[in-house]
A and B are shown apart, each in its own frame.
Chain A
């Protein structure tokens, strides 16, 4: 704490140096991945209907399901699991890194 600005005010978009900055970085990356594949895909699907990509998305099949149905119904839940997994691995790493660093400064 001694190294930090004592007047720091918590703000997601202005994180503190150190652990918080690393944490916010991975949070924003995960949120972008979450939003693009969930909502970006639906918007793409809606606006490309009847055109090349749209036909491809509804025309191709995977496990018998049209690609868009498979993507939303089966891949998205899996994608969310992957995002949580990536987040946890990364947080485990930065937690280990910053606690080692902290211990050394105290030494």
Chain B
């Protein structure tokens, strides 16, 4: 077999093995009748949080942006880890005590408003779609890399593959094994990195530390100052992006629901610490791929012009490995990890989005008498429809993977996060405030494409990927002002907040 056949073989093997392991697990669990222990402790819970979080953006997009922008892109590293601090301290326990586990459910209950619920559902679906477009771009780039075809064909075949995978595992009823997924992702990301560090002559046992020497070598031997602060953007842009990713993390619907699979609150809190550690393992490693990529280019003597570098940035992880002469099977391991992360993220988001279409929109708003069966049908149809929509959008991706993902974070940070925050921490916030806040949040998110050409200040203050530094506080102010100008929420809700959400130990 040739190298590329090995690569493709390994990728298929990994994806099929998820289904086989899942089927085996399902058989065992039904035999043990519920005692098979879905619950795997705090560490297992942490691995589930981490594997739910990892996507093509973490495994491909992050290294790509660091490769392009150096220090400026470390805003992604800090933003995608620091968000968990906000989530843990401000929202996790309280929302759990509140007892509503999806964003539309929470908003509908807390603000007692069908309109707010409807808007939240539409926004959550939009977030899922944007997030999925980034995943499809990653899948498309891997497919075009593996099979040597152009991007458009790659994304079509890749998209069809992920949708068939979703339908197949749905039809077989395969449970997702999050711990196994995390193990596959982390191994497939770090083992090739160790190989790379060894090959290039750096400390390979912990390549997360070993790549430091490579940064020094880049600036000494090749005059590439990779670490220069704020070289490709201002400090405002750095902070705005970092803040946006953080509040977006705390507002992302599929991240939020992760807290309810762990049976008790205390374990849920501790599994966040483990989850964050497992996530950080990947984020400590991603810059190393970027630095090694630059170094190999510099050593081979052809540094790409900016436009060409931007086109290949999202595949820099794989390309670096192949340029360094990694064996075919190891390239396959690397591709399989990124691909499974993207596959399962797409699966989770499309199913969440479809459930939202069927429950929050179809059942709650349009057909309150709809039967279980017709809701199922709508959910299945919606999965395919959303998948098709994502595929269409991914044919002409508007940016790099991490940039597209950042827009989804900005939308979540500008709309869902303020609603959750005030909903939990300010009893006076009401339905009118929530609706007004969400509308302002949507406008803030898309202010740059909408009004950027009219006013350069708006474009500078609300960059598309980083609109929440100004957006989220503005939305909070609007929510406070509108809530104070309109009647307070029912006493019943205010009492519930005071006695249940914040008074469980009084």
Other A-B pairs, 14, CB within 8 Å; known A42-B239, A72-B74, A77-B279: A3-B506, A9-B427, A19-B506, A20-B502, A31-B85, A43-B239, A46-B229, A61-B216, A64-B214, A68-B229, A69-B227, A72-B77, A84-B88, A87-B85
- Inter-chain contacts of B1 with A (CB < 8 A): none
Question: What are 17 A-B residue pairs whose CB atoms fall within 8 Å in the complex?
Answer: A4-B503, A10-B425, A10-B497, A16-B506, A18-B506, A31-B85, A34-B86, A38-B82, A42-B238, A69-B74, A69-B229, A73-B74, A73-B287, A74-B208, A81-B280, A88-B273, A99-B505
A49 in contact with B229 given A72-B74, A72-B78, A76-B77 (CB within 8 Å): yes
Counting chain B CB atoms within 10 Å of each CB, the highest count among A18, A34, A84 belongs to A84
Residue B477 is within 8 A (CB to CB) of chain A in the complex: no
Q: Determine whether the beta carbon of A77 is less than 8 Å from that of B283.
A: yes
Q: How far is the CB of B111 from chain A (nearest CB, A)?
A: 14
List 10 tightest A-B contacts by C-beta distance, closest first.
Answer: A64-B212, A46-B235, A10-B427, A77-B280, A12-B425, A63-B212, A19-B505, A65-B212, A64-B213, A69-B227
Q: What's the minimum C-beta distance from A74 to chain B, rounded to whole angstroms?
A: 6
Q: A79's closest neighbor in chain B, by CB?
A: B82
Q: Is B436 an interface residue (CB 8 A)?
A: no
Partner of B494, one of A10, A74, A88: A10
Complex CA distance for A42 and B498, rounded to whole angstroms: 38
> With an 8 A cutoff between CB atoms, is B345 at the interface?
no
B71 touching A69, Cβ below 8 Å? yes
Categorize the interface residue count of chain A: 35 or more
Which of the listed residues B90, B238, B272, B505 has the most CB atoms from chain A within 10 Å of its own CB? B505
B499 is contacted by which of A1, A12, A80 (Cβ under 8 Å)?
A: A1
Looking at the complex, which one of B211, B266, B279, B498 makes contact with A8 (CB distance below 8 Å)?
B498
- Shortest C-beta distance, B82 to chain A (Å), equals 5
Q: Is the CB of B287 within 8 A of A63?
A: no
- Which residue in A10, A31, A46, A68 is a CB contact (below 8 Å) of B502? A10
* Per-position binary interface string of chain A over residues 82-93, scored 1 when its CB falls under 8 Å from any chain B CB and 0 otherwise: 011101100110
Given the complex, which residues of B lie within 8 Å of A47, measured CB to CB? 235
CB pair A16 B227 closer than 8 Å? no
User: Is the beta-carbon distance between A64 and B216 smaller than 8 angstroms?
Assistant: yes
**Closest Cβ of chain A: how far from B40's Cβ, in Å?**
19
**B498 and A16 contacting across the interface, CB-CB below 8 Å:** yes
Chain A 42-54 per-residue mask, 1 if CB under 8 angstroms from chain B, else 0: 1101110100000
Which A residues are closer than 8 A to B by beta carbons?
Answer: 1, 3-4, 6, 8-12, 15-16, 18-20, 26-27, 30-31, 34, 38-39, 42-43, 45-47, 49, 58, 61-66, 68-70, 72-74, 76-78, 80-81, 83-85, 87-88, 91-92, 95, 98-99, 102
**Chain B nearest CB, measured from A27 CB (Å):** 5
Question: Across the interface, which residues of A come within 8 angstroms of B426, CB to CB?
Answer: 10-12
Interface string of B265-276 (1 = CB under 8 A from A): 010011011001
- Partner of B81 from A76, A85, A102 at Cβ < 8 Å: A76
In Å, the complex CA distance between A81 and B83 comes to 11
Considering the chains assembled together, what is the distance between the CA atoms of A58 and B273 in angstroms?
30
B273 touching A81, Cβ below 8 Å? yes
